[in-house]
Chains A and B, each alone.
Chain A
Amino acid sequence: MPEQEKNFNVRDKIDMSRIKRRERTDKIFKTIFLIAGILSALMIILIFIFVGGKGIKPFLPGYEFGQQNLGKFLTGMTWRSDQNPPVYGAAFIVVNTLISAFLASVVSFPISVLTALFIVKIAPKKLRGFFTTVVELLAAIPSVVYGVFAAGKITKMVNSMAQHFGLTTHGGLSQLTVSILLAIMIFPTITSMAINAIAAVDKNLELGSLALGASKTQTNFKVVLSAAKSGIFAGLILGLGRAFGEATAVSMVAGNSMTGPTWNLFDITRTLTSTMLSGLKETSGLDYDIRFSVGIVLMIIVLITNFSIQLIKRSIGGVSHE
């Protein structure tokens, strides 16, 4: 076709039926995007329904492997899946889970906050990047690697500590080992939240404090920390949540006691997560389904923890812009 005869009018090529088709495609894709959004939101609800449903089943009449007593499950102080019939009492497990997470945060919290303060306010600029990287690397280490470290190093440390007091341990597997491990594992969580909170404190507050004759250090400890406390405590709660839910590493050093609660730091313990992982072989039966019941208990504890973030934020206040 000779060049001059070609129709170069763009408007002739724009036709309405095509536009209609494209708008249909547009609608279809928007629907797909919407479905993806709803699907993502649905997951948390599905988790509650399905995990909850499966976990409640053993306590309902007509349960195929023999109905369990919910009261005994919630108040029992013995967990013997090896007996016949097995005994499942989770109360002491809850207590031990709380103890180890609490101990971990008692150790980890001050160290985390001081480290965060050091990184944001005290360290020279060049070191700041280095220490931030250290915290980030600690956060990136997979929990199973922490587990190997705990099983290889912390157990030995705890064991020799026990011998020092004239006590013995089960090869270092103990409540204390779990707590130290958890303290290390929640350190990066609390620290990074504290770093954000401290960095968000209004500079004018500090200037105000300095202008009143307070030293840099006094300002850091009195004004900055108290202004950032809402964010810092939110970090603590987040850390606690992680401590409750941490599974693989903890199950490597807990020792899985059969009765409790364990008050002796050098004695073996059992957490909700270590219970869920121990001796996992079959994928059906009472011993399998009861893990879902433990899962519900864990979910409830984590949920309460998460909701308390909101409460703490409201009641503590503080001036950080988080």
Chain B
Amino acid sequence: MSKHEAFQERISKNRGMTAKRRSIDGVRNFFTYLSAALAVFVLGSIFVFVFQRGAKTLSWDLITEDFHTVKYMVNFTEQEAGDFAVPDDLKEGEYFSTKYGFGVMEGTDAAKDTVILLTRKAEDSPLHSGVNAVAGDTKDKPQDVPTHVNVVKIAYKNQEGETKSAGQVRHHTPQEFVETLDQESTGIVSMNYQSLGGGIRGSIRATLMLIGLTLLISLPIGIFAAIYLHEIAPKNGFTNFIRTSIEMLNGVPSIVFGLMGMAIFFPITAAFGATTPNILLGAITMAVVLLPVTIRQTEEALITVPDKLRMGSLSLGATQTQTIFKVVLPNALPGILTSILLSVSRIIGESAALIYTMGTFVVDNPHITGRATTLAVQIWSVMSGEQPNFELATAISILVLIIVLVLNVSIKLITRQLNKKWKE
């Protein structure tokens, strides 16, 4: 083979190599596209799933309603049957009592049991004439029966003058219930009804209480510790030890924080009169969870405060404490705000640590030293029962997701604004 031929062959081989290399490069790049697309797909699936499943359940009633059903009983002062016209806009499956002027249809309550749902009342329906029948201060006070409740029982008089019951107690369907009343009764005596429950008002309140209490504890300790580390601490082994110890908290699984809360802090809350896991305990525990975040964010904010301001203040005869409170902290405020938003986002999302320290029993009127659930824990709570309640869990998830995402976007915006400010 001549030199020339050998050279030619090498070039053509090289061309083949280039083509091969191109295709390998293409395959490699394709896999990176695929991975990134997969991430988008997973995020999308989660959102689609949560919103599809939960959107129907999410309503203003859900937010304002108690979780547990409340039972009511009223007697009627106007008992006579009347003659009501069937409204035109009756929905499918909705039945209207022409004698008493109200509508019912099938519904479900918090425990996902089928109930007779009161949907409407005519203007002069006897249902407006209820008085409280339960013993107590408000007995015999007027009590209008609200719609959107579960009709457990209506006691009526039949032609023979006997008192009979209709409703859920007799396993009536809404249709049977209305037919029984309209055909057999001459008047109604009393009514037992229940709120539907399944609301999240209590958890929202508990979440807010937890956020407030946690920040009350974590902010001063976290900010002061950051001040110590950044403004005061000498550079020595002891300071390094403190830093390392705080960083190690970052790696602790949140469920272990839950154990910690019960083991270390429960006695403290017991001194405030707590006998069970409670909101205060959750707050102390969350404060510890958030310490490393708060300290790091605050320190980063302190770093952005130029040293010349500290020098200026000290040269004017201010003490270091005065310098910190009058000059350094006000300038670190936006950074501290970021750490607050981050903390709130973490508190709203946290569940494992709180299951141990606050319990899983949903409470409608939470108290600082009593059991309660946050929104996230209520999700866990309704999911871990015998019958997982996906509708409620996803509905709460929508709320939690929206809040957490809004907080995260705000943090991003503030941080971007800050970076701009200090670049100037």
Contacts and interface: CB of A to CB of B under 8 A. Distances in A.
Please determine if A and B sit in direct contact within the complex, based on CB atoms under 8 angstroms apart. yes
Interface in B228-252: 228-229, 231-233, 241-242, 245-246, 248-249, 251-252
A268 interface: no
A189 to B, nearest CB: 12
Given A142-B401, A245-B252, 17 more contacts: A30-B321, A33-B231, A36-B224, A40-B291, A47-B260, A50-B260, A115-B36, A115-B39, A118-B36, A123-B36, A131-B40, A140-B404, A142-B350, A184-B42, A245-B256, A273-B352, A283-B276
A218 B28 CA distance: 9
Contact of A135 (B39, B223, B241, B379): B39
* Residue among B295, B351, B405 with the highest chain A CB neighbour number at 10 A: B351
Interface stretch (A62-70, A76-84, A162-170, A291-299): A291-299
Interface in B332-362: 345, 348-352, 355-356, 360
B127 interface: no
Interface string A1-32: 00000000000000000000011011001101
A291 B291 CA distance: 25
A161 to B, nearest CB: 16
B64 interface: no
Given A140-B345, A142-B349, A247 B253 contact: yes
Contact of A152 (B263, B345, B394): B394
A45 interface: yes
B224 A44 contact: no
Interface in A66-125: 110-112, 114-115, 117-119, 122-123
Given A51-B260, A110-B35, A131-B40, A145 B352 contact: no
A182 interface: no
Contact of A148 (B24, B291, B397): B397
A40 B232 contact: no
Contact of B45 (A41, A115, A153): A153
Interface of A: 22-23, 25-26, 29-30, 32-47, 50-51, 53-54, 110-112, 114-115, 117-119, 122-123, 131, 134-138, 140-149, 151-153, 184, 187, 191, 215-218, 220-221, 241, 244-248, 251-252, 273, 276-277, 280, 283, 291-292, 295, 298-299, 302-303, 306
Nearest to B277: A283
B320 interface: yes
A245 B241 CA distance: 25
B40 A134 contact: yes
B138 interface: no
A187 B39 contact: yes
Nearest to A30: B232
A221 B28 contact: yes
B291 A302 contact: no
Interface residues of B, number: 88
B225 A37 contact: yes
Interface in B21-52: 21-22, 24-25, 28-29, 31-36, 38-40, 42-43, 45-46, 49-50
Nearest to B318: A22
Query: Quick one: which of A22, A112, A141, A252 has the most chain B CB within 10 A?
Result: A141
Contact of A140 (B39, B232, B379, B408): B408
21 contacts: A22-B319, A26-B322, A29-B321, A33-B225, A40-B225, A47-B260, A50-B264, A114-B35, A115-B38, A144-B376, A145-B50, A145-B379, A147-B380, A147-B383, A152-B390, A218-B25, A245-B253, A248-B351, A252-B380, A252-B383, A276-B259
Among A111, A114, A131, find the residue whose CB has the most chain B CB atoms closer than 10 A: A114
A230 B357 CA distance: 38
Contact of A151 (B32, B221, B319, B388): B388
Contacts of A138: 39, 42-43
Nearest to B377: A144
B321 A134 contact: no
A115 B351 contact: no
B81 interface: no
Contacts of A247: 253-255, 351-352
B295 to A, nearest CB: 6
Contact of B39 (A22, A46, A191, A302): A191
Contacts of B263: 50-51, 53-54, 292
A167 B319 CA distance: 74
A34 B49 contact: no
Q: Which 5 A/B pairs are nearest by Cβ-Cβ distance?
A: A245-B253, A142-B349, A36-B224, A217-B25, A41-B245
A187 B46 CA distance: 14
A47 B256 contact: yes
B256 A51 contact: yes
A22 B254 CA distance: 42
B408 A273 contact: no
Contacts of B198: none
Contact of B50 (A110, A148, A244): A148
Contact of B32 (A42, A114, A302): A114
Contact of A111 (B38, B223, B277, B404): B38
B120 interface: no
B260 A40 contact: no
Contacts of B249: 40, 43-44
Interface string B210-236: 000000000011111101110111000
A148 B393 contact: yes
A26 B324 CA distance: 10
A298 B321 contact: no
Contacts of B351: 142-144, 247-248
A295 B259 contact: yes
Nearest to B249: A44
Contacts of A218: 21, 25
Given A36-B225, A111-B38, A302 B252 contact: yes
B277 A131 contact: no
A127 B64 CA distance: 41
